[in-house]
Amino acid sequence: MRPEEYSPLNLAYLGDAVFELMVRETLVAGSSENVCGLFRRAKAYVCASAQSQSYFRLFDRLSPSEQRVAKRGRNSKPGGKAKNASVMEYQHATGLEALFGYLYLSGKSDRLKELFAMCVPTEVESNEKQ
């Protein structure tokens, strides 16, 4: 099955894991902080409100095909709801996650890294590692 044939919620399910793994990898690299501290910091990036902000930060920089995937994810009807986010934030976060799942399945790791760098600004990464 081609990545664009997956349901947007399945892409988001996978993309959620991909995004969180990238956050964890970024936070662990060069850090000697304990696991509890890393977990607390990771939550700030993987929560729906932060992912929603990332969706808007990236959207105009996406190719037309990437925008279609993100919109499909955003417009999908997830079964649950976010605990600490509005419905709109949750929908945009789902769009971001669908995009990350799509890129992962497409084998576009360089593009994933490029977009992730826009989600987790370099100056934040540098401050977090200290």
Domain ranges of the chain: 3-129
Report the C-alpha gap between 95 and 12 in whole angstroms.
Answer: 7
Does the pTM of the predicted model rise above 0.85?
yes
Q: Give the CATH class of 3-129.
A: mainly alpha
CA dist., res. 41 & res. 44, Å (int): 5
Total count of residues recorded for the chain = 130
Q: What is the pLDDT of residue 44?
A: 87
Q: Report the percent of the chain where pLDDT is more than 70.
A: 91
Taking only the tens place, the pLDDT of each residue in 44-59 is 899 999 999 999 999 9
Distance (Å, whole) CA 95 – CA 116: 14
Q: Which of 8, 11, 16, 112 is catalytic?
A: 16
16 flagged as catalytic: yes
| Residues 11 and 98 sit within 8 Å (Cβ to Cβ) | yes
